[in-house]
Amino acid sequence: MEHYKKSLMVTLAIDRLAMVCWFACIPLVPFIARWYDTYSNKEPIFIQFIVCVYIAMIPAGAIVWLLNTLLSNIRKGVVFDSVNVKCLRVISYCCFAIAAVSAVMAVWRILAVVVMLAFAFIGLLLRVLKNVFEQGVVIREENDLTV
């Protein structure tokens, strides 16, 4: 049980670090785009890069926030709950949204296809996990009604 608590706390700390990094990246995107164009041997895509990254940062921020909510609920002992199911559902949609933005970015850089496939696969895995949690909620509610 001690290992479980440590693992949960490490995961929460990593998620909160990701939240700080997300906020820090907002003003850095133009500099990253300029750096990318400087070291790329292909045509510059400064504007396209900035637009795609800023659009993708919206669902990415939602993912980080919802993961914090999900992990906080699990830390409180609230696992099979409809709020957690909703969090997993929205996180999966956000992964699909990032995959769609990556598909647009693939018009200019083929490597974005890898990002697109990764986020689409993660979104799919989260849909499966969401369905498992949803069934767990149903079973828990049935057990709560049993006297």
Q: How far is it, in rounded angstroms, from Cα 133 to Cα 69?
A: 15
pLDDT higher than threshold 90 for residue 101: yes
Element (H or E) spanning 65, and its range?
Answer: helix 46-75
| Band of residue 144 on the pLDDT scale cut at 50, 70, 90 | confident
Q: CA 75: distance to chain centroid?
A: 19
pLDDT higher than threshold 80 for residue 92: yes
Q: What is the pLDDT of residues 107-143, one digit of tens each?
A: 999 999 999 999 999 999 999 999 999 999 999 988 8
Show the tokens assigned to 71: 């992990």
- How much is the average pLDDT of 93-101? 98
Q: How far is it, in rounded angstroms, from Cα 106 to Cα 112?
A: 5
Q: What is the pLDDT of residues 45-84, one digit of tens each?
A: 999 999 999 999 999 999 999 999 999 999 999 999 999 9
Task: Tell me the CB-side half-sphere exposure of residue 61, using CA atoms within 13 A.
Answer: 12
pLDDT higher than threshold 90 for residue 5: no
Q: What is the pLDDT of residues 21-44, one digit of tens each?
A: 999 999 999 999 999 888 888 889
* Residue 133: count of CB within 10 angstroms of its CB: 21
Smallest CA-to-CA distance from 91 within 53, 54, 139, 129 is with 129
Q: How far is it, in rounded angstroms, from Cα 52 to Cα 47?
A: 9
